[in-house]
Amino acid sequence: MPHLKGSCHCGAVRFSLFSRAAVPYLRCYCSICRKTAGGGGYAINLSGEAASLKVEGEAHLSVYQAKGTGRDPEEVSPSRRHFCKHCGAALYVFDPRWPELVHPFASAIDTPLPAAPESVFIMLDSKPAWVKLPADAKGANRFADYPDESLADWHRAHGLYDESDPKASKKDKGSA
């Protein structure tokens, strides 16, 4: 499963990437994820290797950089959220502070993803009252902000981190 394929709803944009951490477990309730990609009040981001990202239909992409993410309401986030400019589908996030990574939204992935053994709920200080947490949202997996554990660390701790060779995986699956 380390080679993921995704697309927008209208089909104008398709992408593929190599991911060592592709179990959809992390629910982000920040206002940016919630308002740009989270119809249920949250979005689920995966992790992939930025150098492996291949995009078909780049001319159909639009990029959004959120404002007001820090202490200054005019501050612009360096994170670049990529959407289809026709159907509005949220596809992936790239942040130059971590240039080796790209974070596709699980909702944009067409490759079957495994069920997560647990969920982790982050940015809960941004969660509106109308969004109810599920019963499995216990104290140990709830965070007001970002947890210390990275996506890769969580996957390693659960024996789900993919150690395979990205080049071998691409040969086996073919390019997208």
DSSP string for 91-119: EEEE-TTSTTEEEEBGGGB-S--PPPSS-
Give which of 38, 28, 58, 146 is closest to 97, Cα–Cα: 146
* Predicted local confidence at residue 116, as pLDDT: 93
Say if CB 91 and CB 39 are below 8 A apart.
no
Q: How far, in Å, CA of 98 to CA of 86, rounded?
A: 28
* Predicted local confidence at residue 170, as pLDDT: 52
Q: How far, in Å, CA of 125 to CA of 171, rounded?
A: 44
Regions in the chain scoring below 70 on pLDDT: 1, 70, 168-176
Q: Where are the domains of the chain?
A: 3-166
Say if CB 20 and CB 161 are below 8 A apart.
yes
* Predicted local confidence at residue 110, as pLDDT: 98
Q: How far, in Å, CA of 13 to CA of 167, rounded?
A: 23
**Six-digit token pair at 146?**
């970002």
* Predicted local confidence at residue 145, as pLDDT: 92
**Six-digit token pair at 93?**
């996030």
3-class secondary structure, 135: coil
Say if CB 120 and CB 158 are below 8 A apart.
no
* Predicted local confidence at residue 70, as pLDDT: 67
- Fold for 3-166, please state it: 2.170.150
3-class secondary structure, 85: coil
* Predicted local confidence at residue 168, as pLDDT: 66
Q: How far, in Å, CA of 122 to CA of 133, rounded?
A: 11
Residue 49 one-letter amino acid: E
Give which of 97, 104, 110, 82 is closest to 26, Cα–Cα: 104
Residue 99 one-letter amino acid: P
* Predicted local confidence at residue 149, as pLDDT: 92
